[in-house]
Each structure stands twice: as C-alpha cells, then as structure tokens.
Amino acid sequence: MVRRTFSRRSFNKTASVTAAGPFIHSRRARAQETADVIVIGAGLAGLNAAGIMADSGLNVTVLEGSSRIGGRVWSTTKTWETNAGEVPIELGASQISGSYARVLDAVDRLGLTLIDQDREVLPFSFHMNGMHIKAGDWADSPANPLEGEEREIPATAYGSTTLAKLNPLVELDDWLDPRFSDYDVSVHDLMKRNGVSEQGIRFSTVSGLGTEIHSVSALRYFQERTRGTLESQFVGPLDEDGKPIEFWPKNILGGTAMLPRAMVAQLPGRVHTNKHVAAIEIEDDGVDVRTLDGSRYRARFVISSLPFTVLRSLSIWPRPPGPQFQAIQQLNYAETTRAFCRIKEPFWQEDGFEPSINSDGAVRMFWVMDNHSGEGEHRGMFVVTGQAAFRVSARSPEAASAYLVKELERMRPASKGQVEVLRYHSWGNEPLQRGCSPMFAPGQVTAFANEMIIPHGRLHFAGEHTRRLEYGMEAAMESGERAAFEVLDRT
C-alpha cells in the first residue's frame, strides 16, 4: 500500500520551494483541482495506470479530451447480426488473444464476459494487374509476377511470408537491443540486401506489406512478428484428448467498450471527459496541466498516454530532451480506413470467384464474413491501409464510402447494388488519435525507442506506442502498468 501523504523528503523539498516561490504558490491556488497524479487520456493505457495508482491509495484525476472514453476501443451503436446475436460494429480493437494476461485479468476482475469471436473471413480471390483471378489459378496466372516455387504462395501472403524468413529476433525485447540496429532499415532495403528479387519486393507492396516497405523500419515489423509467433504457440488448457478447451481470439459481450467503461466505474468521479489538454508545465514540485476550456489542474506527477501524433501539438515546458523530443515530433503512425458493410445477397455465387478480395488497387482488401448459412445477408468490410488509406480518407466519409463500393463494383460487377456501407471510419482523420498505430520509420528505433519512455521530470509516458514487449490492447495495458509503477516508486 502506498501512503497518500508526501514523504518527509519530498515534503521538505516542496515546502522549501513553495516558501521561496510565490509564483508557484499562486499557480497552485489557481488550479481548480489538485491530485497526486493526473493521467491524460482515458484509453486502456491511461485507465490501467489510473486504476493501479488509485488501488495503491493515490489520488488520481483522469483528463480525457473526448466526450467518449476508450480511445481506440470504440464499439458503436450500429450493430451487426452474427451467430452470437447482434454485436456492435467495432471501429477499433475487438480481438482478445489467449495470451493477453493483463486484459484477461481486467475482464475477469471487472466481471465482464468473453464470447467466441464470430468473424470467419471467407476465402480470397485476387485482383491484380487488371485481372480477377481465382485462388486456385494464381500459380499459373499471367498476373503472377513471381518465379519458381514462389508462384505457389497466395497473393495475400507473399509479403509477410518473405519478410518473416528474415526475422532475426528471438526475445520479445530484442527489437530494442542495439545488437539488432543493423535491421533498423526500411523493409525494402532489408529485402534487397537479402537477395529478394526486384519483382518480389515490388509485389510485396500489394501483398500484405504496402508501400510502407520504404517508410517503416523492419524492426517494427519484427517486434510484432516475434510477439505474434508467441501468440500462435499459445493454446491454453487442453481437454482429456489433448485438444484446446478454448478457441481464441475472443470478444467481450456487449462490445469491447465494456472494458474501458468498467475501468472508469472503478474510479468514481475521477474521470473528466471533454477536457482537451493543451499544455503541460513541469516544475520542481509539481506539474501544471491546462485544458482548452481554460481549466487548470495540478498534481505531483502526470502520466501522458496520448499518441505522439497528438502530444506533438501540446505545449510541454520545459521541452523534453533531444531524442524524446524527436520521438514526440517524428514517430510515424499508420493509417487504417475501414468501411463496415451489409451484403444483401451473396454476389460471389453469381460470379463464381471466392467471396473476399485482395487487390493491387485502392480497395486493397474487402473481407466477406461468413453468416454460417451461406445464403442471404452477409457482413463485409473494406480494410484499406497505408498510403492507399491516406488517399481514400482524403475524401469526405460519404464520398470515400461511395468510392470504395464503386471500386468493388468495377472489379466485381456482380456486387452492384449488393453492398451497403453501414459505418465508415478513418483513424488518421480522428483528431485525438491521428493514426491507427505507431510505425517506427527506418532509423527511428535506434534514434529514440529506448529514450522516448524515460520520465521527463515529473512527466511520465504511457500508451501503446511506448510498448516494450506486447502488441495491441495488451501493449496499452503493459504501458499503463509500467508508468503507474514508475510513479509509485517515487511516492
């Protein structure tokens, strides 16, 4: 249990600074709320940090810029019909893996229920070089640019399969180890230096990797890949015949947003929404936080869980040191644009191609999700990533949705009139996120990945982008836990 009061050492220090500084004293008087710790951002990282510190007896205030809590966990009021009944359309995270220790612990503690995921994506056909190709015809298709045995690799898998073979990492934190800094180069350069053919490198941009092969460090891919390998080995408890008892990933009953909502319920009165933080001023004895509506808050410590795409627009005084400042200003983020659809009739029965599609055009991926009867209405999702997503999301939501549907109709005339967009979302256009996930550019892991999480005076850093070992929601929880313990160690 951590004491709520100041230690004698910090009390003496504070008392002397306060006595000597009327300026600081007057600032404190103007703060409308004081706390031991202010957490900025009510996504999973911020809420996990706040919960751990509140449980340890600290007085915590959470400031959230939006009217909605959860950040990149966003279950909408629009629903989809699945085998598990009506489920909310999830604009962000939904899949919970069996190896997510912290997320599963929170789900359990907060009394939430896990349900089997009902998102079986139906097989893919390919639209490449202007041709629509069945999966079985891919190896012999004139649109297949590869040679020899590589022609057999499905077009959806070539990029990631080829890159996976070049992964030197074994331990989850190897990506941060300077021994591997030689791999902090673009995916393109790594493939080239390992003799992947020019055709193969080019093809990987439409087969799983995107034109980000130039702008993303191979170490960023390898971090997720290494964590993903661990995931694929996870089976959980077995039955008496040696078969896994549970099937992963799972979803949360009622939507993923049930998790941040339940976390907030554990922090009564401490989470303030519509408090868009604009400035953080760090002093010797505390931190001053100002929001766009003119409110002032003061605490002994602050944890920021803001994505660096957003944090870079705040005033932080004094300025963080070199590599950390560089990280805040420059850390790359990926864009994901999705359109969630209703498919009125299974148009693939008319054109005879596999239902889902992977293309080298603007659409990139259109997933069709099984309704388990094969007949009638299905779910569909446009998944546009990388540069293609930036191009699509430059349009208004209505224009972008219409464009995606039209593109699908161009590739598959049988889909005409069958696909209705229920909800469209661009994470790059979301003002409090400005991106989907951190994507270190070549050289950025070496330049600042280790330094970017070091506390800057009384300001600590959390958020998925400060991950060390994990990915997805578990990375957000991991980061909140780390930042909370950093603060607890100082109180």
Ligand X SMILES: Cc1cc2nc3c(=O)[nH]c(=O)nc-3n(C[C@H](O)[C@H](O)[C@H](O)COP(=O)(O)OP(=O)(O)OC[C@H]3O[C@@H](n4cnc5c(N)ncnc54)[C@H](O)[C@@H]3O)c2cc1C
Where does this chain bind ligand X (CB under 6 A)?
A: 40-46, 63-66, 71-73, 92-95, 276-277, 305-307, 310, 336, 427, 432-433, 436, 463-464, 472-473, 475-476
Which residue type sits at 242? G
Nearer to ligand X, 386 or 472 (CB): 472
Name the minimum Å distance from CB 304 to ligand X. 9
Using an 8 Å Cβ cutoff, are 357 and 412 in contact?
Answer: yes
> To the nearest whole angstrom, how small is the minimum distance from the Cβ of residue 371 to ligand X?
21
Nearest residue (CB) to ligand X, 155 versus 277: 277
Of 324, 322, 385, 372, the closest CA to residue 346 belongs to 372
Q: Could you tell me the smallest distance in angstroms from the CB atom of residue 475 to ligand X? A: 6
- Sign of the Cα pseudo-torsion (165, 168, 174, 178, in order): negative
Region for residue 201 given its phi and psi (left: phi exceeds 0; alpha: psi -120 to 50; beta: otherwise): alpha
246: amino acid identity, one letter: E
CB of 296 to ligand X, least distance (A): 14
CB of 155 vs ligand X, minimal distance in Å: 23
* Phi-psi domain of 398 (left: phi exceeds 0; alpha: psi -120 through 50; beta: other): alpha
Name which of 89 and 476 has its Cβ closer to ligand X: 476
Least gap, CB of 218 to ligand X (angstroms)? 21
Write down the least CB distance from residue 254 to ligand X, Å: 16
DSSP string over 158-190: HHHHHHHTT----STTGGGSGGGGGG-SBHHHH
CB nearer to ligand X: pick between 249 and 361? 249
**Cα 217 from Cα 225, distance rounded (Å):** 13
Are the CB atoms for 201 and 213 separated by under 8 Å? yes
Output 63 or 191, the one with its CB closest to ligand X: 63
Rounded to an integer, what distance in angstroms lies between the CA atom of residue 298 and that of residue 282?
10
CB of 318 to ligand X, least distance (A): 19
Nearest-CA neighbor of 443 among 362, 323, 293? 323
- Cα-based angle 429, 92, 304 (whole degrees, multiple of 5): 75
Q: Which is nearer to ligand X, 196 or 341 (CB)?
A: 341
Token pair in block for residue 325: 């400042």
Residue 299 or 475 with smaller CB distance to ligand X? 475
User: CB of 134 within 8 A of CB of 123?
Assistant: no
Closer residue to ligand X (CB): 72 or 220:
72
What is the number of H-type helices and E-type strands within the chain? 16, 21
